[in-house]
Structure 1
Amino acid sequence: MGLLPLNYRRPSYVAGSPRTMSDDQISVGSGGSGGSGSANGSNPPKPTKLATVVAGIPDALGFDRIIDGGTCPPCTTRDFMNYLIYVERSAENLQFFMWYRDYVKRFNEAKTSDIALAPEWTQAMEDDAVTRIQREQADKIRKETKTPAIAIFNGTDFEKRREVPKAPGSDTNPFSSPPQTPNDRDGSSDYVSTGEQSYRAQANEAFAAAGVKAPFTIQPFRKEMDRVIATYITDGAPRQLNLSDREQKVVLHALAYTTHPSALREVNKLAESTLRRQAHPNFIRWSICNGNTARVIFARVLGGSLIVVSTAIALALTLSSLGRGYRAVAAIGWVLGIATLIAAWKGMCVVLHGMHHHHVRPWELFVSEEDADDLGKRSFDSFGSANSYEEEPWVVRYHKRNLIRKIFDREVWIQEPALRQIQDTIFLQSMLCALLIAGLLTAIFVASPKGNFF
């Protein structure tokens, strides 16, 4: 693969929430896939593809290509998941996104008669639910302004206890023992029945808090949907998605009506928007860095030191009685120092780049390949525990690792050609800038008159 254009810039860090970002804030480049599928009739919706491609990310490292498994380490789907768990701490978006894609596929392939019991949640129903929730919130505010004694509890746990009615018990529901749902019969779902009653109770509490009745369990995939609510939707869920109070109530209204994938359409759009507009460009920017923090800081210090030493040598030669030509020797140090400093400022170590290596990630240093595979499988479990790693053994061990060992940590080869192409381009940019600046400095010192001090 050749180099990218010399005016290439790596993706900018995205710190704002996609909720508040306009399309103008997303630099659209080539290689994006646009269009979004919509459900017609009883057919479930296809996962949408937002037409946003951030500048600085080549087609080979696009979001869809990573998700579809078309990239090599260190830019695979597993690497993306690890980044979201250990760096950005927002893996629930990708876990929900991948579960939803699989759920749409399974729902569409189900050939059982009870699929008709799960009608589509239309946009008109969505708008009606939003209007109803807004009206209820407005009425609530008016009542609270008339009763200041109650209003003092707004936003506290007392308010939540007062508003949330007791969840209806499943024993009073004559349909609490439904026939097997399609996912149970086909065996295509990774849903586990352990704790089924607990998930049902949590889902019922969520429905009650949203002001809707608990649905009949006769609908297909209802048990799995209860687990989705308990894992991603309810307050305090182990993988709670970043939903506003209104968005949470709307999706619970939808799920109380149907288990059709369209009920989660808006939630999936939000998760996908966050992944595409924030997590993905930040992941590529992070992957470009081939060294850990200690190595990058070391490279910056080394580059700055070379520049200072070379400048001191040039000053000494200028103040001496030696010929002007000797002063050009300092250009070697300037080129090396400036190139090292610029590359390190972009997160790259030129020594590691020369071998196309990158440091092994801290969470991979102290585990065997089998254990790493097991951890990877668990991170892709749609209904696993909370995405917390603070108790993992590597955290303490890496913290105790001395600075020298961190600087010279274990290295592995970068397999992804597109990532090597980006790093080659950044290295060339650093060298060209170094040559230009070093040439100007050399010309200034060579043109200066002799000092003849010694």
Structure 2
Amino acid sequence: MNRFLSSNRESESSDTSLKSSQLVFSSSIPEALTFDRILSGGTCPPCTIHDFMNYLLYIEHSAENLQFYLWYRDYIKRFDEADTVDTNLSPEWTQAMEGEARAKIQKDVRREPKEADMLKGTDLEKGVIDVIIENGDPFSTPPSTPSMSITPSFLSDSQASSYRLQSRDAFSAAGAIQPFTIQPFRAEINRLIAIYISDDAPRQLNLSSREQKGVIQALAYTTHPSAFRTIAKSIEDTLRRQAHPNFIRWTISNGNPARVAFARSLSVGTIFCTTTGAIILTLSSAARGWRALFAIGWVLGIAALITSWKGMCVILHGLHRRHVRPWELIDSAASCDESELCDRSRDAGEDRNFDSFSSSNSYKDEPWVARYERRGLLRKVFDREVWIQEPALRHIQDVIFVQALLGALLGAGVLTAVFVNVPAGRFF
């Protein structure tokens, strides 16, 4: 998008902290399902950005990463398009400034216990900045460019004041000087700090103490997008190298847990019954050639078992269909057809999960949670199905099925050879 996002992507190759298995799977993801393609809207259900957000919210419980990343990309665009005179009030946060702030934080961490012990029990323990906050900040000025930020247009005065106080608490805790409110987008940054960065924030990002203090120090100085440089790169790396591969791996599963468990049990039962029949026939006086017929059962059972371990149901795969997710199933009306459901999945812009400044990502109170828990097991096994529209995903599932079939042929061939060559027991 511009130099900030480009620099983040260029430095990805230097990150060696992720597991090699994740990197291998990420490299095997087809071009049609890459992270950038999903975010740009170039994929079909169930691999859209809407599906990605639902996965992060309901399965991985880390939707705040994508919500922050989408806001950050939009913020860079809006900041670059803003009036030049106003943006000059927020200079760039340079690498040198970041290094100085990091050294200061490191120094404060080493001396903090001693200072805390010295101030304990005194009036100074509360802190000078906390006193300023309670009595009002004499250096604050009313925003001069409210049109620059999207926040004031839909925030009441009480909400804006609450976010401002929460951000001040965050600045105080990080030992940063209270910023001037004349900087553009300051109200929006205050709200972002209150929702994503401060302690006990409703969508608190998974940041270390030093990362949190570092970004707060930067935001105390400027509202320039470069203030988010470090945490934005970390979050983007997490999305690209961990969340995205996990999402693609999850979408390969075409059945819900109940259906996959049912398929796995059925495959194990098929293998057990086939093996039992082969043993009985071997102990009898029947001709050896009859034992080769059990290879059919072994092939079917082993192939179904392998695909079930990948989260796939062979029957659903043969139809190129998948089970509707619980949050899709309950929220959709019974009369809706597949196209209407898929159209809703593509309509990510109106989804509340894409609201970067919503209160929290909790979904425990959503109606579908309790209703799906009351759903019977048999009904879950035979839940509603929809067509898999994404061709690249169908191709991945086809490859998995072919691999499972080849493995089943190999396993069945070995078992058949063993049983055919065992002498007849002639017990009956």
Scaled by the length of structure 2, the TM-score of the pair is 0.87
One-letter code of the match for 2:242?
A: Q
What's the counterpart of residue 81 of structure 1?
Answer: 53
Matched, 1:322 2:296: no
Decide whether aligned partners of structure 1 residues 123 and 411 sit closer, same or farther in structure 2, where only a CA change above 3 A counts: same
Aligned residue in 2 for 1:428: 402
Contact (CA 8 Å) 2:348, 2:354: kept in 1 or not?
no
Aligned residues: 402
Give the drift of 1:55: 3.2
1:96 aligns with 2:58: no
1:181–1:375 Cα change, 3 Å: closer
1:136 aligns with 2:98: no
Judged with a 3 Å threshold, the aligned counterparts in structure 2 of structure 1 residues 340 and 281 are, in CA distance, closer, same or farther, namely same
Aligned ranges 1:154-165 → 2 under 5 Å: 165=130
Which residue of structure 2 lines up, in the alignment, with residue 58 of structure 1?
Answer: 30
2:255 corresponds in structure 1 to 291
The answer as to whether partners of 1:168 and 1:214 remain within 8 angstroms in 2 is no
Distance 1:325 1:274, change over 3 A: same
Aligned pairs for 1:273-288 within 5 A? 273-288=237-252
Q: Percent identity?
A: 56
Structure with greater helix percent: 2
Judging changes above 3 Å, is the alpha-carbon distance between structure 1 residues 58 and 198 closer, same or farther for their aligned structure 2 residues? Answer: same
Question: What CA distance in whole angstroms lies between the structure 1 residues aligned with 2:321 and 2:354?
Answer: 27
- Taking only aligned residues, the RMSD between alpha carbons, in angstroms, comes to 2.6
The 2-side partners of 1:114 and 1:427 are apart by 58
Query: What residue number does 1:442 align with?
Result: 416
> In structure 2, do the counterparts of structure 1 residues 389 and 285 end up closer, same or farther at CA, with 3 Å as the change threshold?
same
Q: Is the 8 A contact 2:292 2:420 kept in 1?
A: yes
SS class of match (1:358): strand
Task: Write out per-residue CA displacement over residues 406-448 of structure 1, whole angstroms, 9 at most, x where no aligned residue.
Answer: 1111111111111111100000001011111111111111112
In structure 1, the residue corresponding to 2:351 is in which secondary structure? helix
Which residue of 183, 203, 209 corresponds with 1:219? 183
Distance change (3 Å), C-alpha of 1:163 and 1:269? farther
**Residue of structure 2 equivalent to 1:68:** 40
The answer to whether residue 357 in structure 2 is matched with residue 397 in structure 1 is: no
Structure 1 residue 111 and structure 2 residue 75: aligned? no
| Distance (Å, rounded) in 1 between the aligned partners of 2:230 and 2:141 | 28
> Which residue of 2 is the match for residue 229 of structure 1?
193
Aligned with residue 179 of structure 1, among 134, 140, 144: 144
Q: What whole-Å deviation, never above 9, does each CA across 1:57-81 have from its counterpart, x for those lacking one?
A: 1221111111111111101101000
Segments of structure 2 that go 5 or more residues without pairing to the other structure are 14-22, 333-340
Q: Which amino acid aligns with 2:56?
A: L
Gaps of 5+ in 1: 1-35, 40-44, 152-159
Distance in 2, matches of 1:164 and 1:294, equals 56
Task: Please say if 1:260 is aligned against 2:230.
Answer: no
Equivalent of 1:122, from 84, 94, 104? 94
Whole-Å separation in 2 of the counterparts to 1:371 and 1:72: 12
Q: Displacement of 1:168 after TM fit?
A: 2.2
CA contact (8 A) 1:233 1:248 kept: yes
Shift of 1:179: 1.6
Match of 1:192 among 154, 157, 164: 154
